[in-house]
Amino acid sequence: MQLSRCERVVFSGFLERIGGAGRRACLFGAGLVVAAVVLLCVVIPFFVWTRLGQRVDERSRWSALLPPEVNERFDAVLTLVSVPAVAVGLLVVVGIALLRRRWDLAVFAVVLVGLANVTTQVGKVVIPRRDVGIGAENTLPSGHMTVITGLALALLVVVPRLVRVPLMMLSAFACTLAGAVIVVMRWHRPSDVVAAVGVLALWSGVAVLVAVWLRSRGRDVGLEGSVSVRGVVAYGVVALAGSVAAGVVLIALGLVAHEEPSNVVVAAVTFGAIGVATCVLMVLSVVAVDELDCVSAGSSTAGGELGD
């Protein structure tokens, strides 16, 4: 498919307006979309439609357990996740973005949280699960993981840049912990949790592209800037530290292998995959928004930075 001359001119003008930082933000956004599609195209066919995948998923689901009293405490917290809670959380996040005069990030949050949760609920209904005697009902993607991680990521991108590094660690910790607990409590299979991260990555990428387009409609949005490699590495290290801390906390709370000693390895791989997927989602999304900040910095109409 070839673009017409008029379309090429419009597209070239758009790329010129957003500058190098905007183009890099678009690259990260597109990367998130592609990574999400690849992840979902692997997870769904294998873990939902094949007998081997379902057996692996079920084995991972029962690989570890927590003491009953700890489960009760986590159950009390997770039951707070509801539609009203999502609405309140989203209003808070959007409010922070608007206080900073960042309409683009407010739209980012709405696109991410709103559409990811809709996609998750629709996915549970429309994705068929092959019945091989290991649970016929589809529970993919995890709604709880979508809500918790979506709100955490939305908050992470709307706060000032200086706050993102410490908040990155806290967010990675909370989301990895939530994903692991959801599996340990048998609420969801591991693939459900990973698929939820994939759905969030998809809509985070789309939200980045929408935010860049919104910035391009203002004046003076071509200011050059770049996120250093050192900054990306720092985000990654901080996020991984948060995920590792979640694992340490679970062990301290009494997490043990279920029955077979080999389940120690199975649980480590399962929760490690959840942690890594969560970290990659957060790092790529935040780096993209950091680039977006570079595009809009100094713009007289695109929205100033408060608190940076």
Give the pLDDT score at 28: 94
How large is the angle between the packed helices 143-158 and 161-184, nearest 10 degrees?
170
DSSP 235: H
Contact 156, 174 (CB under 8 A): no
Give the pLDDT score at 18: 62
Give the pLDDT score at 21: 77
b/e burial code for range 175-205 (CB count within 10 A of at least 16 → b): bbbbbbbbbbbebbbbbbbbbbbbbbbbbbb
Q: How many angstroms separate the CA atoms of 144 and 185, rounded?
A: 13
Give the pLDDT score at 14: 54
Walking along the chain (308 residues) 10 residues at a time, the average pLDDT comes out as: 53 60 89 98 97 96 95 94 94 97 94 98 95 89 98 97 94 98 96 98 97 74 61 94 98 92 93 98 95 63 37
Give the pLDDT score at 214: 86
Q: Is 150 exposed, middle or buried (0-12, 13-18, 19+ CB in 10 A)?
A: buried
In terms of Cα–Cα distance, which of 191, 215, 219 is closest to 291? 215
- The model's pTM is 0.91
Q: How many angstroms separate the CA atoms of 142 and 179, rounded?
A: 9
Give the pLDDT score at 204: 98
Place of tokens 């973005």: 97
Give the pLDDT score at 10: 46
Place of tokens 């917290």: 77
Q: Is 132 exposed, middle or buried (0-12, 13-18, 19+ CB in 10 A)?
A: middle
Q: How many angstroms separate the CA atoms of 270 and 191, rounded?
A: 9
Give the pLDDT score at 302: 37
Q: Residue ranges per domain, the chain?
A: 20-296
Q: How many angstroms separate the CA atoms of 105 and 306, rounded?
A: 13
Q: How many angstroms separate the CA atoms of 225 and 295, rounded?
A: 7
Give the pLDDT score at 17: 61
Other beta carbons less than 10 A from residue 229's beta carbon = 8
CA torsion through residues 134, 140, 143, 145, sign: positive
Alpha helices of 100-228 — where are they, by DSSP H?
Answer: 103-110, 116-126, 143-158, 161-184, 190-216
The CA-atom distances, in angstroms, between 228 and each of 124, 180, 278 are 40, 32, 22
